[in-house]
Structures are given as structure tokens and as C-alpha cells.
Amino acid sequence: MIITISSSRYTNKPFCPSSCTKKCASWSASIRSQLDLDHQLLFPAVLTYRLSCDRKALAQMKGRTLGNSASRLHSFLVEQHTAEWMRRSIHYLNTCRKFEVAGVQMPPPQPPPQMVTVPSSGWLLSTYVLESFTRIEELKAKVTSIFGSISVIEHLSLLGLTFCRATSGMTLDQWLKVNVPKTTGWRLQIKMASAAAGVFPTRRDRTCTLCSQRTTRATGHSMHRPTRQSFCQVSDPQNRTVEQWLTELRGGKTEKEMLRDRQRVSRKKKKKKAAILNKKSS
């Protein structure tokens, strides 16, 4: 059955001739992928195992506006399907009245069939994800083109200053050299270069300049935030561990002792708040 914008319609799904007896359709992804792009676009629906959804209905979720969600699409489909079912029911009952003959008692007509229930918003969202995978190459091309255009920036706000290429008469590199410290400009250029290449390193993907490993606790790396000091266990001349290095910077306190101190301070704060509330209530 295919879910369209206004109604639902049934289609035939032949069984697999092998022993699995699983239903399959002629426009399933495994079959469509064998065709060229021109013929793939001729198939109107996105298939799941039991139901299918028309691409025109899923296109309602492609807009970049607020409230454009699967729940809104579900409400829209329920409204449209209900109106279409009522129209067809009225047409059916009106057609049955034409067969009535004066003086002849006819059996009452069969009631119109029940309206097919619209699938849930979760099913619509999962089907939209499947439809998005069919456009994955197009999405990659769009993302690459957006990242490639980052190097040409017309406006930029940085450190309370605003850059406008039209009014300043300078390029971004010239403006950064004049108005921004060298370190800040260098960091911005590194981010722009990585964005243009489509690479956005996260915290876990950062590597140490000394040992070329990930800067995580598992590889023996850490940072003491109050002093902004970093530590690499591999390149440490004293062969200290991360715990030993942090203990020295904390004045001989281990992590367990630091945790106990924090818990003790939090208990004192809670007691003070409770005492203040008791005084106010009394």
C-alpha cells in the first residue's frame, strides 16, 4: 500500500520464487540501483517492508522552516485522507441511490469501507531518512560546495570588530593582519582551511605534536586547566603517569582526595541552604 498526499492505494507485491517467500516490489532499492539515474527517478515511492510512501508526500519535509516536522506532516496527511475518504463515501452513497426503484424494496447498501489509518509520525520520519539516502551523493556535493565557498567571506564579526569586504576595500587576509592579533588570525585561517577541505577535527581527533597519538587519557595525555599545562606520558622525561603528574600539580592531592573535598564542600553548601530556609520558615 502506498501512502500519498490525499489517499492510500494498494499495489501488488509478488512473492520471491525462492523458499523465503518474502514479498518484493519492482521499485525496491536493490532493483532500482541497477538502473541509470534517469529510470530511477521514474519510480514514485519509497518502499519499506509493509508500506510505501509517495515522494510528493515526503517532499513536504524538505523545507527549512520552523514547525516542518514529521508530526506536522502526519497531521496534514490525516486531514487530507479524511477529506478524500468523505468525498468518496458521499460519491458511493449517491451512486447507490440511483439504483432505487419506486415500489420495490431493495436491501440496504453496504456501508462504505473504513478509512485506512495513516502511519505514525515515526514511520514517516524513518521513511524520509531512507529517501534521503537515495540523495546522499547530491547532499555531499552541496556540502562540499558550501565548504568550498568559505574561503570567500564577505562579512565577519571577530573580537568585537566587523569586516565588510565591500566597504573596507581589503581582502580578509589583509583585514586580519591589520585588526586581529597574529595568533587569532592564524587560528581562523587554520579553521577555514580545514572547513574548505571538509575536515572538522573534534576533541577526540586531535593528536599530540610530540607522540602523534590522540590526546586522550587512554593514550597518556591530560591537561591541567587552572595552569593550562598539557602532559604527554610518552615524552615525559621523568616517566610519570597522568595521575602522578596531576597529583604534583594539585599539591600532593590525588583524584580521590579531590573528589572527597568537592563532596565535603557541596555538603556544607546544602547545610547552609537548609539552615537559611529553616530560619525563613520559622
Average pLDDT over residues 47-70: 70
Q: Quick check: is 155 in a domain?
A: yes
Let me know whether 173 and 120 are in one domain.
no
Let me know whether 10 and 89 are in one domain.
yes
**Measured at the alpha carbon of residue 1, what is the angle toward residues 123 and 61, in degrees to the nearest 5?**
40
Quote the number of domains for the chain: 2
What's the half-sphere exposure (Cβ side, CA atoms, 13 Å) at 133? 9
Let me know whether 125 and 168 are in one domain.
no
Residue 279 CA to residue 29 CA, distance in Å, equals 70
Domain boundary among 93, 110, 134: 134
Residue 253 CA to residue 263 CA, distance in Å, equals 15
**Residue listed under C-alpha cell 477529506:** 83
Q: Is the pTM of this model over 0.75?
A: no
Q: Quick check: is 88 in a domain?
A: yes
Let me know whether 42 and 148 are in one domain.
no
Let me know whether 119 and 159 are in one domain.
no
Instruction: Tell me the three state secondary structure of residue 57.
Output: helix
pLDDT, tens digit, 9 for 90 and up, residues 101-128: 877 888 888 888 888 888 888 878 888 8
Q: Which domain holds residue 47?
A: 1-134
68 close to 125: Cβ distance less than 8 angstroms: no
Average pLDDT over residues 71-89: 85
Q: Return the CA Rg of the chain.
A: 33
pLDDT, tens digit, 9 for 90 and up, residues 211-230: 878 788 888 888 887 887 88
Look at residues 120, 129, 136 and name the one whose alpha carbon lies nearest to residue 3: 120
227 close to 249: Cβ distance less than 8 angstroms: yes
Let me know whether 41 and 69 are in one domain.
yes
Domain boundary among 84, 107, 134: 134
What is the model's pLDDT at position 146? 45
Q: Which parts of the chain are beta strand (E)?
A: 2-3, 8-9, 45-47, 52-54, 155-158, 161-164, 221-224, 229-232
